Amino acid sequence: MPKTPKYNEIACPKCKEPIAIDAQICPHCRTEFDPADVETRVKSQRKAVAIGCGLILAVIVGLAALGSSGDDASDKSSSDNVAAADEYPEPGSADPEVKDAAIGFYRSLFAGMGACDKAASKTADVANGLETGGTTIYDAYSAATAQVAACKESWNELDGLEIPSALAGPARDAAEKAREMCSNTALTKQMGAETMQEVFDGNMKPSKIEEMRQHAEAAQAGVLACVAGATDMAMKAGVNVEDLPKFD
């Protein structure tokens, strides 16, 4: 009885034994295939993978990119705090030491996400290339594997990020919350990349695609919370939002 084809395989039309998607000749019965037919089945496989995960990957990475959401999140944080403005120091009232500490910590939060964001963007580019044929499923799996490692690195860096001693009271409390939000976002991206690995390794079940969608939503919420939390920390330290660094 012929074996069941694995992922990235099909059954030979003649002997029914498993062969690679891009096989030109069946290694079992030696049947030769029309190059046009081989190209068609390869394109079909790439399209199936792209439909199943390429678009979702783009959502995960696009929504989770800290830099692209920074300005909007800062604006939202500012508007949300208008009603409780009396709980915050006058913008720009922070003394130089506190201001430098707050802005430095703000930068550190973004820098900590750097490795994870760079790897996630690479994964998205590779995944989007599946549909056009510019990349292979093996490239995508490799990129997702690299993202797992990079986001784990970012999580460790953020989780161990030291809060400057110059930040005290409400500003310090806000800094602790921002650090937690940002480290959790890196962890979410790591988990998302681990799910991508499973999908690229052949697990295209609806439940796995749904898991990817959930990671996308969690990443979106996490990145907004991270940036808004960092902005809130700066505001509670008396830093003017306009003085915070902008990121592309």
What string of H, E and C letters represents the secondary structure of 107-133?
Answer: HHHHHHCHHHHHHHHHHHHHHHHHHHC
Token duo for residue 184: 């959790």
**Residues 148, 190 contacting (CB under 8 angstroms):** yes
Compute the distance between CA of residue 242 and CA of residue 92 in angstroms, rounded to an integer: 9
| Helix locations, 113-247, DSSP H | 114-132, 137-159, 169-200, 206-236
**Residues 196, 57 contacting (CB under 8 angstroms):** yes
Token duo for residue 140: 């995508």
pLDDT tens digits for the chain (248 residues)? 667 666 567 888 889 898 988 899 999 999 999 999 888 877 776 666 555 555 555 554 544 444 444 444 455 444 444 335 556 888 899 999 999 999 999 999 999 998 998 998 888 888 778 767 788 888 888 999 999 999 999 999 999 999 999 999 999 999 999 999 999 999 999 998 898 888 877 777 778 878 887 887 888 888 889 989 999 999 999 999 999 988 65
Compute the distance between CA of residue 7 and CA of residue 30 in angstroms, rounded to an integer: 21
Nearest residue to 105 (alpha-carbon basis) of 33, 173, 185, 196 = 173
Angle between helices 169-200 and 96-112 (to 10 degrees): 10
Domain boundaries, the chain: 53-243
Report pTM: 0.69
Angle between helices 169-200 and 114-132 (to 10 degrees): 30
CATH number of the domain located at residue range(s) 53-243 in this protein: 1.20.1420
Compute the distance between CA of residue 233 and CA of residue 73 in angstroms, rounded to an integer: 13
